[in-house]
Structure formats: structure tokens, C-alpha cells
Amino acid sequence: MLILRRKAGESFLIGEDVKVTIIATKDKEVQIAIDAPKTVSVLRLELANAMRENIDAADEQSLPQDLLAAFSMLAGGEKEKPEGDKR
């Protein structure tokens, strides 16, 4: 990990395309501006983590019958498997 000290108004480069400028500092907060090509994704870490969790949850596969049974139980419906269900 690289640690830099910059004052308000000072900048640094990441690669050749991304410029980060310190706009202001106050107490324990820092305002920064990021100038990057539109092809470069810039996300707060907590948003990137939430996106990953959403993608992982969406990737989980459930059988339609299982989903219907779960919804039925939530609605207070029948808790037994339908007739003909051989599982």
C-alpha cells in the first residue's frame, strides 16, 4: 500500500489516465476529485461490496417449486409439498 501526504489543491496520478486532486480537508474528512476516463469505474468500496453480494445472491439457483413453497409459507398457505412432488 502506498501512503501519500497531499495538501488541498495538490494532485497525484494513478497510471497515466487517472488524476486525483485533494479539494479540501476538514477535521478527519477529505474531499477529493477524481478525473478518470469514462471507461474506468470509480466506486466507493462499500458500494462495490454490495454489488458483489447482490451478484452472488442472484447467482444462487432455486427450483421454481421451492420458491413457490417459500412464498406460500410466507403467505400463511399450505406447508406441505403438493401432491405428486416426489422429492
Three-state SS letters, 50-62: HHHHHHHHHHCCC
* pTM of the full structure: 0.57
Q: Which residues pair with 12 in a beta bridge?
A: 20
The residue ranges of every structural domain in the chain are: 7-38, 43-77
pLDDT tens digits for 26-36? 999 999 999 99
Confidence tier at 70 by pLDDT (50, 70, 90): confident
Average pLDDT over residues 24-48: 92
Chain-wide mean pLDDT for the chain?
A: 83
Average pLDDT over residues 31-51: 91
> Among 22, 40, 39, which residue's Cα sits nearest to residue 31?
22
Judge whether 6 and 17 are in contact, CB under 8 Å: no
